[in-house]
Structure 1
Amino acid sequence: MSQSQIPAADAVDAASERSPIRWVSSLYFVQGMQFFVVMLIAGLMYKNMGVANDQIARWTGLLGLAWAFKPLWSPFLELARSKKLIVVFGQFTSAAGLALMAMALQLPMWFAASLAVLFLLAYASATHDIACDGLYMASLDDKQQAAYAGWQGAFFNASKFLTLGGLLVLAGHLERGIGVMNAWSVIFGLLAVLLFVLASYNAYALPGVLNTDHGDLTAAGVLKTLREVIADFLSKPGIWLMILFIVMFRFAEGQVQTIGPLFLIEARDKGGLGLTTEQVGGVYGTVGTAAFLAGSILGGYFTSWLSLRRAMPFLIIAMAVPNATFYYLAVTLPADLWHVGAAVAIEMLGYGFGFVGMILYIMQVVAPGKFQTAHYALGSGVMQLGFILSKTISGDIQIKMGYEHFFLWTIACGLPALILLLFVRMPGKAAKPAEGIAAPVENAT
């Protein structure tokens, strides 16, 4: 070993010996920040810039395809010698993208330019997510993974408090003083600086002893394995009915979670509540996020107590709570912010409670088998695709129906998932044979 290599090796060893809390927190904060900027903040920004709901839903929906399709290129990242290198490179790329976003909003063709940058951010973020989770699993043993899972989720959602509860409120304040375009340029400039600082810290703090020897791996070998994984996934008994169930579980959610926040900002003479950007950020970034976390925890304990098979009907009904809540708001059009805040808290509580059902369904029914981890990723991709498909069409439906009838329509969209429960495979229960679908030979574990 040369003398120049010794300091680098010492740095790697030092990084590996640091307490995981010193890097798990910053790693998952960045993961959440990248996701929420693209999938939440962008839509609200465009609404304030006067973009129509159908355009917002269509384009932000297409952005979400990055997370739906990421399982298709995730195996190829194993060819890289270091997951840390991918993570850090992805974070610096996103920091540069956020700076470009700040500049794009000042151009005459700002809409097309900003969408191009958001596509860059979406695919950089989705690729970062793959390496991020891989780094977490490769760096920690099973006991440590369980011990720091709570920190992982806490800091991921802490970024939601920042983006919705902090930066969105700041954007609303700036909009009144320097205009919408300038305000959002400032916001993305601040995000770029913050992400650059965090990426620099992670370049120092993340463990680097992940350079597992993959000399036997080739792109052709990875592609062959990927084909085998997909073929095995599609050969599972009742898989097409499972896929339909996953898509229909999220069919109403994708629509209401896209249009709901836009409805809050929409002017009252156009059927909305006419809230300011600051008010929406304050409501969603505080009570909304807290209610979602509480609902998720309660949903997990409820399902553990009752079992997924018995709890699933209640979880699907809970997913309809946001739809019913927004229908109530569209009919009554309350002007009191406390009234709206209470409704949003109920909405997010139901959403968090019910969404647990789909995560556990993929874990316990779809994923088990020879390629459990890969099939969980594919199932999650199908879940995201179902959300994106409904998100993409939601704006067109809302414009044709109006807000009140649109939210009533989303309530009806939850019924197919309930009906499919009579046929779909569940833990401890074989699926009923359906035309063109073979009955499973054994119960799911």
Structure 2
Amino acid sequence: MTHSRSPWYYIPTLYFASGVPYIIINTVSVIFYKKLGIDNTQIAVWTSLLYLPWVIKMFWGPIVDTYSTKRKWLIYTQFAMFCCLGLIAFCLQLPNFFFISLAALTVGAFISATYDIATDGFYLLALSPEQQAFFVGIRSLFYRLAVIFGSGLLVVLAGQLEGYLNNIPLSWTISIGFSAVILAILFIFHRLTLPLPDTDKPRQLQATNNIPFWTIISSYFTQEKIIFILGFILLYRFGEAMLVKFASLFLLDQPQAGGLGLTTSDVGLVYGTFGVISLIAGGILGGLVIAKYGLKKCLFSMALALNLPDLFYVYMAYTKPSLTLVYPLVSLEQFGYGFGFTAFSVYLMYICQGEYKTSHFAISTGIMALGMMLPGIVSGYLQPLLGYPLFFSLVCLLTIPGMIILFFIPLTEEIQHTSSENSNNS
């Protein structure tokens, strides 16, 4: 095992292995539950709660730091994630699949969040500062490829198998089982290839107690205009967070239920492939625009780019367009989401300054995950009550508070976009 092994051997696969479980737990689960007959309210509420581990992961981050090495945490969590995905694939064949699979997804969410902590820690320990800067874009690219693999390829595979086997549960068992096999291969690969950095050692307990956790927490929540900062994090994509939970359900629902009646494979291509590629392109352009003009000048226009394309779903809900038109409308909405979300990511980095910036960023991303979880739960009750046309109209109205609060948040200096390493959760 060499200490000087090139990061090209393991950084791409580490972040690919980070993206696959996240997208299956938070996005693909919505699709396979829909295809297996679970109603929209249960899907939206329970899958939104799966964001919880990413909301609270900062509380057990010190445990990953204190006990064992980052390398061991990586290896063990990858193996545990393989077991969870294997269990999910198996239990889809059972009559009470919903409860068992949801329990496995919940455990998997905690494992995946822990893996993310260990991966980022290992990244900082195994790479030199120059390598860290160079591989920021590489890790982001392979994370996004994992998103396309999960929400695109796996969904298309399940859709093709549905037509070939005429057995929806078996089709999804094979598809999710395939992702489990991929993680098993990555587990073996990383077990054999990950280097052993000299600095990857458990911290001493007394060293971690030098800075009390509550000191870090209080320093975050005593920032200037913290109420407006929290409002921004929770409201900036409130409407989008409601829409994203129902986008694939709307595409899958039959016309008599108000949806477009697309096939599973169509959704994998429209939303999980072309949509994700558009989201990535929007994020790249957003980074270039902020780098050129600065965040302060761009923030409001980027918020408009994030929110205005939600009107496309209102249009589709009322007119039921053909698949030929659905492709560009969904792609444009996702492009706007990627473009506007870049400003959100950069602002989170902007407010995390001072000696506790890493911890502050973890708190911000936890609140960001809460800002995805709560609207998703609310949407689960509203959509069946209102129907898709009124629901998407309400989504558009609920984007307004997030844009109003932009005029009150602290942003007194121009900052340049220095990295695009965030984020899951789009």
Q: TM-score, normalised by structure 2?
A: 0.94
The equivalent residue for 2:334 is 348
Kindly indicate whether residue 136 of structure 2 is the aligned counterpart of residue 128 of structure 1.
no
Q: CA deviation at 1:306?
A: 2.0
Contact 1:83 1:211 in 2 (8 A): no
Q: CA deviation at 1:219?
A: 9.6
- Structure-1 separation of matches of 2:369 and 2:217: 17
Moved more, 312-321 or 207-216: 207-216
One-letter amino acid of the structure 2 residue matched with residue 283 of structure 1: V
Q: CA deviation at 1:212?
A: 4.1
Contact 2:271 2:330 in 1 (8 A): yes
Rg larger for: 1
Kindly indicate whether residue 180 of structure 2 is the aligned counterpart of residue 192 of structure 1.
yes
Decide which of 315, 333, 338 is 2:302's aligned counterpart: 315
Aligned residue for 1:81, secondary structure, equals coil
Decide which of 204, 208, 217 is 2:205's aligned counterpart: 217
The equivalent residue for 2:383 is 398
Contact 2:69 2:201 in 1 (8 A): no
The equivalent residue for 1:94 is 81
Contact 1:256 1:322 in 2 (8 A): no
Contact 2:92 2:173 in 1 (8 A): yes
Q: CA deviation at 1:145?
A: 1.0
Kindly indicate whether residue 232 of structure 2 is the aligned counterpart of residue 240 of structure 1.
no
Contact 1:25 1:151 in 2 (8 A): yes
Task: Quickly say closer, same or farther: Cα 1:259–1:425, change in 2 above 3 A.
Answer: same
The equivalent residue for 2:368 is 383
Question: Structure 1, residues 356-397: CA drift from partner, whole Å, max 9, x if none?
Answer: 111111111x21122011101101111111111111111211
Q: CA deviation at 1:178?
A: 4.0
Task: Quickly say closer, same or farther: Cα 1:71–1:377, change in 2 above 3 A.
Answer: same
Contact 2:154 2:176 in 1 (8 A): no
Contact 2:45 2:378 in 1 (8 A): yes
- Structure-2 separation of matches of 1:79 and 1:226: 14
Task: Quickly say closer, same or farther: Cα 1:220–1:209, change in 2 above 3 A.
Answer: closer
Contact 1:84 1:210 in 2 (8 A): no
The equivalent residue for 1:373 is 358
- Structure-1 separation of matches of 2:215 and 2:141: 36
Q: CA deviation at 1:88?
A: 0.8
One-letter amino acid of the structure 2 residue matched with residue 195 of structure 1: L
Task: Quickly say closer, same or farther: Cα 1:386–1:376, change in 2 above 3 A.
Answer: same
- Structure-2 separation of matches of 1:371 and 1:71: 13
The equivalent residue for 1:419 is 404
The equivalent residue for 1:8 is none
Task: Quickly say closer, same or farther: Cα 1:214–1:114, change in 2 above 3 A.
Answer: closer
Ranked by relative contact order (alpha carbons within 8 Å, sequence separation 6 or more), the top structure is 2
Q: CA deviation at 1:214?
A: 4.6
Q: CA deviation at 1:215?
A: 5.3
Q: CA deviation at 1:180?
A: 1.3
Aligned residue for 1:374, secondary structure, equals helix
Kindly indicate whether residue 5 of structure 2 is the aligned counterpart of residue 18 of structure 1.
yes
**Identical-residue share of aligned pairs (%):** 34
One-letter amino acid of the structure 2 residue matched with residue 269 of structure 1: Q
One-letter amino acid of the structure 1 residue matched with residue 375 of structure 2: S
- Structure-2 separation of matches of 1:136 and 1:264: 38
Task: Quickly say closer, same or farther: Cα 1:215–1:289, change in 2 above 3 A.
Answer: closer
- Structure-2 separation of matches of 1:417 and 1:426: 16
The equivalent residue for 1:305 is 292
Pairwise CA RMSD: 1.6
Decide which of 18, 31, 52 is 1:44's aligned counterpart: 31
The equivalent residue for 1:180 is 168
Contact 2:125 2:199 in 1 (8 A): no
The equivalent residue for 2:423 is none
Question: Structure 1, residues 45-78: CA drift from partner, whole Å, max 9, x if none?
Answer: 0111111111111001111111111111112211
Alignment of 1:236-315 (within 5 A): 236-315=223-302
Contact 2:65 2:203 in 1 (8 A): no
- Structure-1 separation of matches of 2:82 and 2:17: 10
- Structure-1 separation of matches of 2:96 and 2:208: 42
Contact 1:321 1:351 in 2 (8 A): no
- Structure-1 separation of matches of 2:177 and 2:113: 21
- Structure-1 separation of matches of 2:147 and 2:158: 15
Count residues with an aligned counterpart.
413
Aligned residue for 1:320, secondary structure, equals helix
One-letter amino acid of the structure 1 residue matched with residue 325 of structure 2: H
Q: CA deviation at 1:31?
A: 0.3
One-letter amino acid of the structure 2 residue matched with residue 92 of structure 1: F
Moved more, 278-287 or 42-51: 278-287
Moved more, 121-130 or 187-196: 187-196
The equivalent residue for 2:134 is 147
Kindly indicate whether residue 325 of structure 2 is the aligned counterpart of residue 339 of structure 1.
yes
- Structure-1 separation of matches of 2:198 and 2:155: 37
Contact 1:316 1:418 in 2 (8 A): yes
- Listed as ranges, the gaps of 5+ residues in structure 2 are 415-426
Task: Quickly say closer, same or farther: Cα 1:220–1:286, change in 2 above 3 A.
Answer: closer
Q: CA deviation at 1:255?
A: 0.4
Q: CA deviation at 1:210?
A: 4.8
